[in-house]
A and B are shown apart, each in its own frame.
Chain A
Amino acid sequence: MCEEPMIHPKLHKQFGWTAFGLLWLVAVVAGLVVVARYDNTAGVRAESRGQWPSESRLSHDASGPTLVMIAHPRCTCTRASLAELAEVMARVERRPRAYVVFVRPEALRASPEASDLWQRAAGIPGVTVVRDERGREAESFGAATSGQVFLYDAGGHLLFSGGTTGSRGHAGDNAGRATLVALLKNERAPQHESPVFGCSLFAPGDRPDIHDHDGHDLHLN
């Protein structure tokens, strides 16, 4: 005749709340980790091309550095990349020749010029905004992620390849911006690459053929 020990209903309820609270805390922390991982997961790196691509129709500056940023016109993370580019351009005394190339995927109906990113980019002093139909220009530089920046010297050698933000859509101090500023000031840069955070420029299996010159349209602003 064993009697089961009685648990006071109040204690029972208290235990329920505590257990639920712990579960809640674990779930919320897990959710925040997922969001943080997403924000801090870099996009696909650019294919390494050490020289100014011969297929590019952009004009390379033979007297100084040339900066090219490849962007997706609808990528919200690229707002921060453009803000950081503006910061870079403002910090250096001698501005490089700079292009922001907006890729227009073939299936994207809306014109890049209509996006707020285009307006932002056009507002940065010293920047030429370019529409890249079907992304052939981006492909020629080997870019895969919106916000990708390339910096070439006067001889066409690649000085820097990477992003200008520390995480997705996250403006503020970051290694990519610091490297760019250092290189443009002819200072010693700690590294020549940085991760790029942004949307994919191309859907899988949708990369253009850069040797197909039909329809390789480049529109300068």
Chain B
Amino acid sequence: MTTTAMTSTSTDATATIPPGARRLAPELPTADALFEEHRREIHERTDRLFAHLMVAQWIAGILFALWVAPRTWSGSSSQVHLHVWAAVLLGGAISLFPALLALCRPGVTSTRYVIATAQMLMSALLIHLTGGRLETHFHVFGSLAFLAFYRDWRVLIPATVVVALDHLLRGIFWPQSVYGVLVASEWRWIEHAGWVVFEDIFLVMSCIRGTRELRQIADRTAVLQQAHRDQASQAMELGELVARLRLTQQQVEAATRAKSEFLANMSHELRTPLNIITLYSEHLHENAIDGGRSDDAADLIKIQASSKHLLGLINGILDLSKIEAGKMELNLESFEIQPMISELIGSVEPLVRKNANTLSVTFGDDLGQMHADLTKTRQILFNLLSNAAKFTSNGSVSLAVSRRATLGISCIEFVIADTGIGLTDDQQRKLFRPFVQADASVARKYGGTGLGLALVWRFCQMMGGDVSVKSREGAGARFTVLLPATVAPAPEQAALTAA
């Protein structure tokens, strides 16, 4: 039975481990790998952007050529202007090869170098098509800025070289088209290239800074991923720990149940012969008195007392075992509070007076009825009053009963106070645990099993109530029992207790 339970629990424990927690095996990418991956993504994305731009520029060039210079004339005859053919054929050649590379070989270094070269060649073509308009020269500077999207400053080199070569060769062969004079200085191209380099300087700085930031992001991402992994690992360990704890708890509960069942069985088996012993000793005691055997009668009284003590102990164990085994049930009924207390006082009073104590009882207004387990309520009060009587000498014991509302629920409050030996803080903390007494000397001096208060606490809990204590060593104790005026049946009790 136990083996089966453990196997089942073990399966549950495995299921409790967070899904994916065991999939931590693959290595995390390093900061270098993340950096390279991000850079490749940027290169590929920019390649795609340029592919679109290339096609757009091509179409724009054709439209512009058709609009501005569709035909060239010779007298009354005309033919398609060379600029239109240039826009279609040359523009297509310039655009399509880099666009093809961007699609087939995205992210490859040579692809962006070809794109950079093509973009500058496109600038040259567009400047031609627009008749060398100054405004079209901004295409060069805009393209350089666009190329900086790659965050690779080396891309600016071929672009700048194309612009410089273009000006150098035009300056040599057609100076007027570039510089507006028939004869220009052979070094004038440097001035034009210089302005491009001027922009390059800032773009290179921007690229280097962008790359540095990319590096920092990669470093931070790697640290974050490692932290997430550590967290996941800790979560996995925590999950395993929780599963183990759950298993242990279940084992403990199973053991407790087994113990309680065993105790319940044993208590039952012990109580039967003990009752017989008690009955026979009473019978023998009566015979001894009738026969005038006073010595025998005194011994039989001791046997009876010991039997009753043992019976009380066994009854307590039986009750506690029933509670722990979940077999203790509430027998709810409605009863008048005041008569119940009066009846109880009758049986407690001799115990109180035994140690020369006084007993006072106070009833609040409108006590009326309560709906609870009468036997258990009575036992709670009996245990507390007998304890108070036991630990108080030449003092007073009092019981105050009143009705009050707690959290909107009508409750009955029983306050049992005494002027006895009191309790230390440590004793108060352990007070309601079973088989625990203040210390060994208390057991020797005052007797008792250590079950009374444990049962008080359990019964209060069962009825959805609570018990608390306030005490100082040597200054008496004050126990407060709070029970619902109407105790709910079992399922509702838990809810009330939680509230």
Q: What is the interface of chain A, defined by CB distance below 8 A to chain B? A: 17-18, 20-21, 24-25, 27-29, 31-32, 34-36, 38-40, 72, 74-77, 79-80, 105-108, 135, 146, 166-175, 178, 191, 194, 199-204, 206
Contacts and interface: CB of A to CB of B under 8 A. Distances in A.
A31 B89 contact: yes
Contacts of B117: 25
Contacts of A171: 131-133
Interface string B66-98: 001111111111100111001001100110010
13 contacts: A20-B97, A24-B93, A28-B118, A31-B89, A35-B90, A39-B128, A72-B73, A108-B75, A167-B176, A168-B131, A170-B177, A172-B134, A203-B76
Given A21-B110, A107-B76, A35 B128 contact: yes
B170 interface: yes
Nearest to B125: A32
A24 B121 CA distance: 12
B73 A24 contact: no
Given A74-B78, A76-B68, A28 B177 contact: no
Interface in B24-79: 68-78
Nearest to A24: B97
A25 B77 CA distance: 35
A170 B76 contact: no
Contact of A199 (B68, B73, B134): B73
Contact of B75 (A18, A34, A166, A200): A200
Given A72-B73, A173-B179, A35 B93 contact: no
Given A31-B86, A106-B76, A76 B174 contact: no
Contacts of B181: 173-175, 178
A166 B176 contact: yes
B88 to A, nearest CB: 11
B180 interface: yes
B477 interface: no
A28 B121 contact: yes
Nearest to B182: A175
- Most chain A CB within 10 A, of B76, B93, B179, is at B76
Given A27-B93, A76-B69, A76-B71, 13 more contacts: A18-B110, A35-B90, A38-B82, A40-B173, A40-B174, A76-B68, A77-B131, A167-B174, A167-B177, A170-B131, A170-B177, A175-B176, A202-B74
Top-8 shortest CB links A-B: A173-B180, A203-B75, A107-B76, A105-B76, A166-B176, A31-B90, A76-B69, A169-B131
A203 B77 contact: yes
A135 B73 CA distance: 14
B491 to A, nearest CB: 74
A122 B114 CA distance: 47
Contacts of A39: 128, 177
B75 A174 contact: no
Nearest to B114: A21
Contacts of A170: 131-132, 177
A77 B118 CA distance: 27
A21 B77 CA distance: 39
Interface of B: 68-78, 81-83, 86, 89-90, 93-94, 97, 101, 105, 110, 114, 117-118, 121, 124-125, 128, 131-134, 170, 173-174, 176-177, 179-182
A102 B82 CA distance: 23
B75 A201 contact: yes
Contacts of B174: 36, 40, 167
B377 to A, nearest CB: 91
Contacts of B70: 76
A76 B78 CA distance: 12
A99 to B, nearest CB: 21
Contacts of A166: 176-177, 180
- Most chain B CB within 10 A, of A32, A72, A202, is at A32
A219 to B, nearest CB: 18
- Most chain B CB within 10 A, of A31, A173, A203, is at A31
Contacts of A17: 101, 105, 110
Contact of A35 (B125, B131, B179): B125
Contacts of B86: 31, 34-35
A191 B181 CA distance: 12
Nearest to B177: A167
Contacts of B110: 17-18, 21
Nearest to A80: B131
Nearest to A20: B97
Contacts of A108: 75-76
Contacts of A146: 73
A183 B78 CA distance: 35
Contacts of B182: 175, 191, 194
